[in-house]
Structure 1
């Protein structure tokens, strides 16, 4: 499995140092950013790739709960706080675990194993569906029903055979969530389902719903490799 890219957000410097020391001990974790300022964390996450956030809930200016509300389901979270009463409030978001301070390494490691399992499950091509948040609700979307995913500024449009879902997410994030065996990015703005292709040439792909999608030059080689593997 690829290393899990994580960041630490906590207004207590000593808490950050402790978590940094724990992260260094785990081979499948990669710390890419840490900060005492939740505004800086928000800015970083919106501009960079990140899988997991160690997030303190009680912070000035912007609480951990408010940060999750802004970011939506883009990342997964492990909440860290000294206040147990915040636990239930946090679980309505994409939470993997809840760590109550002071945090021991043993408890931290158990939490990380949960995270590893969750990421492996999302990568597993045998999974037949995932959930997306659109219009204030969680929707179950079967992978086999997806025709394509299109980037629209800060959102993506997940188009299925029956409907579409406008989700606050990025195409890069969607690539991680979709099975690699049947999905491929063929343009800066499009990911397609290989099983929904009707025909194609060197410039475009026609899907079964007659949707025509261009093939970007930088994605052409990888697309052809995926097509070849699928036909073997």
Structure 2
């Protein structure tokens, strides 16, 4: 499957290193160039193809805004900045999002999901884990381990056989991230079909022995999916 080819441009070597590490964690991203020299990046872009640039706005020799004016809108941008007011000007260009420094992986991942939705190919099927923040800690969850996800007001509970992860997120946002074996079966539940054992009139039985509700509105789609 095609990958999103990306470039990192930041005059701070530590910032470049951090973003390189983050990019390496995303299966559908391919880093093709990184530099703390924006002129080197312009030269690379003139000779090579890429889809996405992580671009620092405040660089002494060439600002991110001027960089975008030179390169143009043939690529998408994620701006990185220590000052949020600069992001407003950036949105005049082909900017998907901006990341406010210091950049956490959780915020980086959300930005990448916005990018993924703007590309014509489906990278969703390649996602095999989620990074979430629960109880003040970052967790990497293998999607195959998820039994179901339950919405609880402004939070969701990601349930595995051994753990529960309560995170500040919407069910809709997670539904867009997960592979096709995950399906909404109720206004408050997403189910991993690989963990399903039986379907009743109002409940779905899981291999773990648990039961979760199935809504009338979603049941026909579930039964169609099972065919």
TM-score for the superposition, normalised by structure 1: 0.51
Work out the number of aligned pairs and report it: 123
1:1-232 aligned at under 5 Å gives the runs 1-120=1-120
Q: CA offsets per residue over residues 182-204 of structure 1, 9 Å max, x none?
A: xxxxxxxxxxxxxxxxxxxxxxx
- Tell which structure's C-alpha radius of gyration is larger: 2
In structure 1, C-alpha distance between the alignment counterparts of 2:71 and 2:13, rounded to whole Å = 23
Distance 2:66 2:107 in 1: 25
Instruction: Show CA shifts across 1:135-154 (max 9, x none).
Output: xxxxxxxxxxxxxxxxxxxx
- Runs of 5+ unmatched residues, structure 1: 123-232
Runs of at least 4 residues of structure 1 off by over 4 A?
A: none
Gaps of 5+ in 2: 123-227
Give the SS at the match of 2:31: strand
Looking at structure 1, the residues matched to 32 and 89 of structure 2 have their Cα atoms a distance apart, in angstroms, of: 27
Shift of 1:91: 0.3
In structure 2, what is the Cα distance between the partners aligned to 1:113 and 1:68? Answer: 22
Can you list the C-alpha shifts for 1:60-114, whole angstroms capped at 9, x where unaligned?
Answer: 1111100100111111000001111101010000001111000100100010011
Is the CA contact (8 Å cut-off) linking 2:2 and 2:121 kept in structure 1?
no
Q: Which residue is equivalent to 1:153?
A: none
Aligned to 1:179: none
> Matched residues in 2 for 1:112 and 1:119: separation?
11
- What is the deviation of 1:120? 2.4
Deviation at 1:121, TM superposition (A): 7.2
TM-score (norm: length of structure 2): 0.52
Output the CA distance in 2 between the equivalents of 1:110 and 1:35.
23
1: CA distance, partners of 2:33 / 2:120: 23
- By how many angstroms is 1:26 displaced? 0.4
Residues 4-42 of structure 1 show CA distances to partners (whole Å, capped at 9, x for unaligned) of 000100000110110000000000000010000000010
In the alignment, the residues of structure 1 paired with residue 33 and residue 75 of structure 2 have an alpha-carbon distance, to the nearest angstrom, of 14
Distance (Å, rounded) in 2 between the aligned partners of 1:59 and 1:113:
26
Correspondence for 2:225: none
Cα RMSD (Å) of the superposition? 1.6
- Measured in 2, the distance between the counterparts of 1:85 and 1:113 equals 23
Q: How far, CA to CA, are the matches of 2:25 and 2:81 in structure 1?
A: 21
- Counterpart in 1 of 2:171? none
